[in-house]
Structures are given as structure tokens and as C-alpha cells.
Structure 1
Amino acid sequence: MKIDAAATAPRTDGAGNIEILTAAAECFTEQGFHASSIDDVARRLGATKGRVYHYYRSKTDLFFDVHREGMRRNFDAVRPAMKLPGTGAVRLAHMLRHHALSMMENLAFETVVVQGVHMHRLGATTPAQRRTLAELMTIRNDFEALFKGVAYEGVEDGSLRIPDVSIAIKAALGAINWIAVWYRPRLGETRDDREILAEKLVDTQMSGLAART
């Protein structure tokens, strides 16, 4: 079942509280899910843990909404690139580049997205939590489907040479998502620096996918 992109939006209880999500994402990134607590999130906020509990009943619920917010940012970054002019190969490169920039500029959130995959694989959760993780994985699959659709168009217009689109896109996205593991911003790093890095990463991926002329 396909989940609409609106489902990626975190619960906001009418007013929203991105500050809580940001503080939680930073805690989960720096300490890991199991070592982080609601107290840690509250301390980072400079607030009482009652403020966090007003929105979230548990650390796991908070983790899930950080994951949703990370995916929402990914969708927002990639969708405009899909509509740019050019062949399937050109648009796929734009999408991967925008995704790489989103990974770097939303690093704490995207690290939680990666952690969420591991939680799903391990399955060490309650049935209700597994259902939520399954929903989040469906959202991730929908995100992957955006890239597959453009890749198929590239195969049809001759700009891409891909024997198996599904495997190729999983490999390309895996390389970009791995940014969450190895990338850390350097002191004084600028947007231009990140764009150069994104370009290098995507050029490496596209060199194996583009049709030879």
C-alpha cells in the first residue's frame, strides 16, 4: 500500500515542535538510541521533560517522528529535481545530488533514518512498534520509487544503461545514504563545499549508470 507523502510529516498536536525533534535527533545521533533518554532531550532543549512528554509518550514514539521528519525533508529536497528538464539520466543525477545535499544539511535527522532501518531489521520491538516501523519502511520504499521511475524513463530514452533498475537504484541510494555514517561537516564548511562533495559523489555513481556515447 502506497503512503502519501503527507504521512511522512511528524505529529504536531496543532502547533508543532520542531525544537523537540531537532534536540532528539542530535541526541540519537551523538549517543545512539539506546543510550539517549527523554531527560537528555529535555536538557538539550533547556526545558523540563514534561514538555517532551506533552507530545510524546515514549522515547520510541519520539524516535519515530524524528525518522518521519528526516524522510519529509528528503522528499522535499528531491521532488523539485524530478521536474527539471532533461533526459532521465540528467534528472536522476539532479535527484541524487539534491538527496546528497539533504543528507549533509540534515545530518542528525538522516542519521536517525539510517538507525531506523537497523531497528526494523533487528525487530527487537513491540508489535505496535513493528507496525510503525513497517509504515516507515513503506515511506522509504515510496521515496526509492521516485528514483526508479526516473531511471526507467532514462532507460527508455537511451540516456541510461541499466540492466536492473531496482538493484542500480538501491546501490546508488545506498552510497548516498552512507553519508550519514562517514560525513561530518568541517570547520568553516560552506554550502559551496557541500555542493562540490555532492557533485563528486553523484558523478561517481552516474559514471556506472549512464549510457556510453
Structure 2
Amino acid sequence: MTPSKQEILRMAAECFMEQGFHATSIDDVARRLGATKGRIYHHYPSKIELFFDVHRAGMELLFSAVEPASQIEGDGITVLTAMLYAHAMAVLEHHTYESVVAQGVQMHRFGATTPAQREILDELIGSRDRFEAMFKKAATVARKDGTLANVDVSIAVKTLLGGIQWSLIWYRPEADAGPKSRRVLAEQMVKTLVEGVRARGDGESATVRGPSRGAKAKA
């Protein structure tokens, strides 16, 4: 049976996550599918085109999760929290695809690509920027209604999203007990992140200070 594009993308995402783009071959994906590499070439002329499509699919999954959350009713921090929770769940549930998205960001920054490939990467990173902009918009609303602390919105959003993205490094789905445990994990991740930027009762944000002048580090 000829594998569908969705099956190819799913298996490719697993291979790219486990081995990285450079170490993964079309043969690796074909073996995982139990198909010939010709079946894959029928849909994708090259490995990088396949990688790009996995990246696109990963971004679509993120937008599909977060856009509905951005429309809920509530004050700014409530909406921002809902969006972060949706993002965290999407990352945990589709970690293979989201690992490829993270690789794509690194490829855009450091990878040697052709001008044509660079153009596609620019398009993909543009999608990533639009995703981040959704959170900046929500955080700006939260700043205005007083539910977000007096923090730099851009830095705060990058830190919040980065905290969720870091789970791609430490999350181990094979040790996962199922959907309920993912929900609990997502809730705890978001609670930890949001409490750092939530406005305090007195309207002031938590103060972060460096070591005092002349202070000595403990051994």
C-alpha cells in the first residue's frame, strides 16, 4: 500500500527528531514506513523538501491549538495563560513535529542552504514570528489591564515561549502515563511561567536584583 503524505510526514518527523536533519536519510524514513524510498520521492523530490513540509505541519498544529485559546473571554492574563496552556499541550502531544520546527529555526540561523531553500526557510520563520506576535498581542492587553507585571512584553513572551519549548529537550513521552499526565504537566509548566510575570496585588512586579557590589559568590 502506498503511504499517504500524512503517514510520510509522521514517520519523517520521528526520524528527524531522533537523528537530526543531517543524519536522517530518505532511506531511514522509508524503512520506518515499511516502503521503498521511491514511494517517498513520489511526494517529495528531496529530503529538505520533506523537512520543510514537516516544519509547516508543526506550525499548523501550533496555530490550530492556540488560535481558539486566544479568543476566550477573560482578562489579559487569563487569555495569555490559556494560550500558553494550549501551546504547551500542542508541544507535548506533537513533540516530534515541534522538534523539527525547533531544528528549522536553528537551520535558519546557522545552516548552509541554497538561495531557494533560504527563501522557504524565511517563509517558515515568518510563520513562527506570526505565532509569537499572537502572544505579544495578548501580553500587551494584559499589561494594559494591569494583570501582567511591568515587564518588557517582547522579552517576557520570548521567555515564556522558550520555557515551553525547552520541554522538547527534557520531555520523555515513553515515560508518559497518558493524556491526563500531559495535561497536569502542561498546567504545572504554565503555572510556573505565568506566576513569574503576573502582576502582584500591590500592582508592582517582582523585583529582580543582581548581586550587590562587592558581594562574593559562595563556593
Give the TM-score normalised by the residue count of structure 2: 0.88
Deviations 1:111-135 (A, max 9, x none): 0011111101113111111111111
Report SS of the residue matched to 1:112.
helix
Tell me which residue corresponds to 2:141: 153
Does residue 180 of the first structure (1) align with residue 168 of the second (2)? Answer: yes
Query: Residues of 2 paired with 1:87 and 1:192: CA distance?
Result: 27
Tell me which residue corresponds to 2:215: none
Query: Residues of 1 paired with 2:129 and 2:41: CA distance?
Result: 30
Q: How does 1:1-213 map to 2 (within 5 A)?
A: 17-187=5-175, 189-213=177-201
Query: Residues of 2 paired with 1:157 and 1:205: CA distance?
Result: 19
Q: Is the 8 A contact 2:151 2:197 kept in 1?
A: no
RMSD: 1.4
Query: Residues of 1 paired with 2:167 and 2:47: CA distance?
Result: 25
Q: Is the 8 A contact 2:92 2:182 kept in 1?
A: yes
Range that drifts further, 183-192 or 193-202: 183-192
Where structure 2 has 5 or more consecutive residues not aligned to the other structure, the ranges are 202-219
* Structure with bigger gyration radius: 2
Give the counterpart letter for 1:99 in structure 2. Answer: H
Give the counterpart letter for 1:38 in structure 2. Answer: I
User: Could you say if the C-alpha distance between residues 40 and 167 of structure 1 is closer, same or farther in structure 2, counting changes exceeding 3 Å?
Assistant: same
Report SS of the residue matched to 2:149.
coil
Higher relative contact order (CA 8 A, sep 6+): 1
Q: Following TM superposition, by how much is the alpha carbon of 1:163 offset from its aligned partner in structure 2, in angstroms? A: 2.5
Give the counterpart letter for 1:93 in structure 2. Answer: T
Deviations 1:130-169 (A, max 9, x none): 1111111100000001111111111111111142101100
Tell me which residue corresponds to 2:211: none
User: Could you say if the C-alpha distance between residues 92 and 188 of structure 1 is closer, same or farther in structure 2, counting changes exceeding 3 Å?
Assistant: closer
Give the number of equivalent residue pairs.
199
Q: Following TM superposition, by how much is the alpha carbon of 1:189 offset from its aligned partner in structure 2, in angstroms? A: 1.1
Q: Is the 8 A contact 1:162 1:168 kept in 2?
A: no
Tell me which residue corresponds to 1:8: none
Tell me which residue corresponds to 2:207: none
User: Could you say if the C-alpha distance between residues 206 and 85 of structure 1 is closer, same or farther in structure 2, counting changes exceeding 3 Å?
Assistant: same
Query: Residues of 1 paired with 2:98 and 2:129: CA distance?
Result: 16
Query: Residues of 1 paired with 2:137 and 2:71: CA distance?
Result: 12
Give the counterpart letter for 1:73 in structure 2. Answer: L
Runs of 4+ that moved beyond 2 A: none
Q: Is the 8 A contact 1:42 1:49 kept in 2?
A: yes
Report SS of the residue matched to 1:159.
coil
Q: Following TM superposition, by how much is the alpha carbon of 1:188 offset from its aligned partner in structure 2, in angstroms? A: 5.4
Give the counterpart letter for 1:77 in structure 2. Answer: A
Give the TM-score normalised by the residue count of structure 1: 0.90
Q: Following TM superposition, by how much is the alpha carbon of 1:187 offset from its aligned partner in structure 2, in angstroms? A: 3.8
Q: Is the 8 A contact 2:149 2:199 kept in 1?
A: yes
Tell me which residue corresponds to 1:9: none
User: Could you say if the C-alpha distance between residues 138 and 212 of structure 1 is closer, same or farther in structure 2, counting changes exceeding 3 Å?
Assistant: same
Range that drifts further, 181-190 or 26-35: 181-190
